[in-house]
Amino acid sequence: MCTLPEAVAQNVSRVRQSTSAQIMAVVKADGYGHGAVAVAEAAVAAGATWLGVTDVAEGRALRAAGLAVPILSWLNPGGIDAVAAALDRIDVALGSVDELRALIADAVAPVRVHLHLDTGMARGGCPLADWPELLRLARAARGRVEVVGVMGHLPRADEADPAANAAAVLRMRHGRDAVLRAGFGPVLVHLAATSGALTDPATHFDLVRVGAGLVGIDPSLTTVLTGAARFTAAVVHSAFVPAGTAVGYGGAHVTDRATHLAVLGVGYADGIPRELARDAGVELDGGRHPVVGRVSMDQIVIDTGATAVPRGAVATVFGPEGGAVPSVQDWARWAGTIPHTIVTGIGPRVERGIA
Ligand SMILES: *Cc1c(COP(=O)(O)O)cnc(C)c1O
């Protein structure tokens, strides 16, 4: 069994096998629910040379924790704190003329910026038509902004088919060439996230931004990575019930035989998806036991059959080891979602620790 730092290190080296570009460890959404500082420290120790977040405040928290590598913040939904960005050396990505204007108005010391081109997603990034205006404005604002990077994002890299990325790669080259022609110095060019990093070298440019892959999620489904989290829950109540017993809200499950039930003290407030397929289960004592009845806010019921499980026994909801232990990917399948929503959905009252 491996610890979070070991799992992240294995995943970074797996990405390293696929690319010679620099690796940015993306630790947004609290490191995909795993703890941003813990994942960042492990990734940097394993060779990541950049960190990525979606808000300057997240970047500042990493600086406060002692992380010294360059940090990029894109999105910045609450606006960019230009003073904080300059002070803590947080690079910011800008995807519109408007955003650049606002930054220029606020900047008192030079802020390092990455110009974000829409490479085909229509979900952020500057449209190609506005790119010349963005460059013109950035040139005029030299001294207050320093253009150090150009970024795009791939809409279809999880298809693991380079043909699906070709249009974005062309746009990226076009955008980069325009930046260089406009007289900006060397810029760091970056387009790929985990899927592109693992499946399409044409997308790598100077740096790949890897988030999901760090914690063991490969959206391209091409590569075996190591899960970085284990989610356990204690049995808080158990009972032996006769056949015909209705379980949970609505009596959605009725036992078909006399059986032992165990209640785990985790529910949808803790990230157990309420929309679960019938084959969902957890590991307890080396066996897989089904979740029965509806998921409640604070608890789920599992059917342990002939086995009486004492209060205090600990079940594994998910973990990396396989066998009877479900994976994050199993939970995603049972809930009809992607693994990302499982790990980022773990609720705040679930106690976190680094094993
Ligand atoms: C979240 C995000 C990433 C990381 O994507 P993964 O697929 O999790 O590796 C990279 N770039 C941008 C712009 C993102 O928003």
Task: Tell me what pLDDT residue 1 has.
Answer: 66
Please give the distance, rounded to the nearest whole angstrom, from the Cα atom of residue 51 to the centre of ligand 1. Answer: 11
Q: Which two tokens stand for residue 338?
A: 């992607």
Query: Within this chain, do residues 260 and 210 fall inside the same structural domain, yes or no?
Result: no
Task: Tell me what pLDDT residue 308 has.
Answer: 96
Asked if residues 211 and 33 have their Cβ atoms less than 8 Å apart, the reply is: no
**Residue ID of nearest Cα to ligand 1 atom 13:** 153
**Residue ID of nearest Cα to ligand 1 atom 1:** 211
pLDDT along the chain (355 residues), means of 10: 93 98 98 97 98 98 98 96 97 97 94 98 96 98 96 98 98 98 96 98 98 98 97 98 97 97 98 94 97 97 97 97 97 98 97 85
Query: Within this chain, do residues 87 and 164 fall inside the same structural domain, yes or no?
Result: yes
In SS3 terms, 94-162 reads as: ECCHHHHHHHHHHCCCCEEEEEEECCCCCCCCECHHHHHHHHHHHHHCECCEEEEEEECCCCCHHHCCH
Query: Within this chain, do residues 50 and 197 fall inside the same structural domain, yes or no?
Result: yes
Residue 297 marked ligand-binding? yes
Q: Assess if residue 26 is contained within a domain.
A: yes
CA 236 to CA 348: how far, in whole Å? Answer: 19
Query: Within this chain, do residues 320 and 239 fall inside the same structural domain, yes or no?
Result: yes
Of all atoms in ligand 1, which is nearest to the CA of residue 158?
Answer: 7
Q: Assess if residue 292 is contained within a domain.
A: yes
Query: Within this chain, do residues 236 and 206 fall inside the same structural domain, yes or no?
Result: no
Query: Within this chain, do residues 241 and 164 fall inside the same structural domain, yes or no?
Result: no
Measured from the CB, is residue 39 less than 6 Å from ligand 1? no
CA 228 to CA 135: how far, in whole Å? Answer: 41
The preferred substitution site among 153, 209, 344 for testing ligand 1, maximizing ligand atoms within 8 Å of CB, is: 209
Q: Assess if residue 355 is contained within a domain.
A: no
Please give the distance, rounded to the nearest whole angstrom, from the Cα atom of residue 258 to the centre of ligand 1. Answer: 48
Q: Assess if residue 224 is contained within a domain.
A: no
Query: Within this chain, do residues 111 and 254 fall inside the same structural domain, yes or no?
Result: no
Task: Tell me what pLDDT residue 100 has.
Answer: 97
Please give the distance, rounded to the nearest whole angstrom, from the Cα atom of residue 313 to the centre of ligand 1. Answer: 38
Query: Within this chain, do residues 150 and 270 fall inside the same structural domain, yes or no?
Result: no
Task: Tell me what pLDDT residue 2 has.
Answer: 86
Looking up tokens 């060019």, which residue turns up? Answer: 189
Query: Within this chain, do residues 133 and 26 fall inside the same structural domain, yes or no?
Result: yes
165 Cβ neighbours under 8 A, 6+ residues apart = 154, 156, 157, 196, 200, 202, 203
CATH number of the structural domain spanning residue 128: 3.20.20.10
Domain boundary residue among 159, 181, 215? Answer: 215
Active-site annotation, residues: 28, 249
Q: Assess if residue 222 is contained within a domain.
A: no
pTM passes above 0.75: yes
Domain boundary residue among 191, 215, 239? Answer: 215
CATH number of the structural domain spanning residue 276: 2.40.37.10
CA 245 to CA 56: how far, in whole Å? Answer: 53
Query: Within this chain, do residues 31 and 84 fall inside the same structural domain, yes or no?
Result: yes
Q: Assess if residue 220 is contained within a domain.
A: no
Q: Assess if residue 29 is contained within a domain.
A: yes
Query: Within this chain, do residues 208 and 255 fall inside the same structural domain, yes or no?
Result: no
The number of domains in the chain is 2
Domain boundary residue among 182, 215, 248? Answer: 215
Task: Give the domain extent around 82.
Answer: 4-215
Query: Within this chain, do residues 202 and 235 fall inside the same structural domain, yes or no?
Result: no
Asked if residues 27 and 50 have their Cβ atoms less than 8 Å apart, the reply is: no
DSSP state of 309: -
